[in-house]
Amino acid sequence: MPKCLKSMPTKHIWTFRPRLRSRAFAWKGSHLACQRLKEAVTEIKKVARVDPVTAGDRIVSLMERIWPAFQDIDTSSGALGGAVNWAQDELLADRDRGSRGPKDAEQVAGTPLEGDPG
């Protein structure tokens, strides 16, 4: 087998996709929904170490599935909203840090760049 084919990642079978389907949880399902969301984040982060492009695609897929899957849940405790916020922070913060260049990182840190009048 050629060396270039050995280094290609194998196709990952995603377990979160069938679990986060439209109206998958009843109105009392916030605990189960939070658990499924954490499992999805863990699965995506695990794949991201090997294949970041596929993981990025699945982040978008997860974000598209959140509202249809969680729309019937009673979220008066705020637990589900906190879990969704946590998932977005976990998945999107890594993507945001990786997309910045060195100049952007200096601007975010608040240090002026060379030739910057301010």
Chain segment 10-43, per-residue pLDDT in tens: 677 777 777 777 777 777 788 888 898 999 999 9
pLDDT for 4 equals 52
pLDDT for 87 equals 92
Residue 85's pLDDT band, with cuts at 50, 70 and 90, is very high
Nearest to 33, CA basis, from 68, 60, 61, 57: 68
Q: Domain residues of the chain, as ranges?
A: 34-73
DSSP 118: -
Burial label, 117 (beta-carbon count in 10 A; 0-12, 13-18, 19+)? exposed
Q: What is the mean pLDDT of residues 57-82?
A: 87
In the structure, how many helices (H) and strands (E) does the chain have?
Answer: 6, 0
* Residue 78 vs residue 111, higher pLDDT: 78
What is the C-alpha to C-alpha distance for residues 25 and 31, in angstroms, rounded to an integer?
10
What is the C-alpha to C-alpha distance for residues 107 and 22, in angstroms, rounded to an integer?
41
